[in-house]
Amino acid sequence: MVKVFHHEETKGDTVGSQRKMTRKQKDIVIGMILGDAYLQKTGKQNARLRLEQGISQRDYLEWKVRELKNYFQSKIKTLERNNPIWRRTYQYVRIQSTASPDFGKLRSIFYNNSQKIIPKTIAIIFKNPLSLAVWFMDDGHYYQRDRMAYLYIPNFDKESIKLLLEMLKVNFNLLPIAKQKKRGNVLVFSVNETKKLMNLIQKYIIPSMRYKLPLDPVSTDRKSDFRISSEMVL
């Protein structure tokens, strides 16, 4: 059961602003697609972007909306969902964009019918560390005990995982290992690979999501203070 706490009316199935999607916006959306975002088909050429976050990550959702503000007309909703397995009720926040051909094009690349896929062109599409940072904010986790980063991914087939690994190697010189865990597939970064990953993404991680970073993002030394060098600041 889903209960809406603060409902705001969505202004129909309006096509988003005709202003072309910027390169930065596209890089953010690509990171979200590999993460938690869902693209819903709304016609032959259009799709809308649906975003959900846990209630504690509302600030992160608000950041996404600000970055893509020309695609949103509705307001963020706070909802409640029951988990029958855990017998718990939890709150989350959701928003969906207006329909747009920009999202329609991305859906045609990253979806096969309603199934999210990894396209063979992923190494051409996914090149910006910003996309990597958004992907990590969505589905990444840093384990302090092991000083290693994990990126949780859906149950893609072996070929799709191979494409992801090749993209990370070619575009970012990252060499994680794919493993099967209870929660599904995961890309595991060794201590050294985690240092490389953090060095790439740290400047893009928004303040409310810095809890996903080690105390010192470069050395992964928990005893060090959290510092970002001046040249790394946006």
Give helix 129-139 / helix 23-34 axis angle, nearest 10°.
Answer: 40
Q: Where are the domains of the chain?
A: 2-115, 125-232
pLDDT mean over 80-84: 77
What CATH topology corresponds to 2-115? Endonuclease I-creI (3.10.28)
- For the beta carbon of residue 202, count every other beta carbon within 10 angstroms: 23
- Collect all residues with Cβ–Cβ distance below 8 Å to 108 and sequence separation of at least 6: none
pLDDT at residue 156, rounded to an integer: 86
- CA dihedral sign of residues 129, 133, 135, 139: positive
pLDDT at residue 86, rounded to an integer: 67
**Would you tell me which CATH number, out of the four given (3.40.50.720, 3.90.1300.10, 3.90.1150.10, 3.10.28.10), belongs to the domain 125-232?**
3.10.28.10
User: Which stretch of 13-17, 69-73, 165-169 has the lowest confidence by average pLDDT?
Assistant: 13-17
Give helix 158-172 / helix 191-201 axis angle, nearest 10°.
Answer: 70
pLDDT tier at 220, thresholds 50, 70, 90:
low
- Portion of the chain with pLDDT greater than 70, in percent: 82
pTM (predicted TM-score) = 0.83
Nearest CA-CA partner of 153 in 30, 51, 35, 39 = 35
- Does this chain's domain 2-115 share its CATH topology with 125-232? yes
pLDDT digits (tens, 9 = 90+) for 16-62: 444 789 999 999 999 999 999 999 999 899 999 999 999 999 999 99
Q: How far is it, in rounded angstroms, from Cα 159 to Cα 30?
A: 19
N- to C-terminal Cα distance for the chain? Answer: 42
B/e letters for 93-129, b = 16+ CB within 10 Å, e = fewer, are: bbbbbbbbbbbbebbeebbeeeebbbbeebbebbbbb
pLDDT over threshold 50, residue 230: no
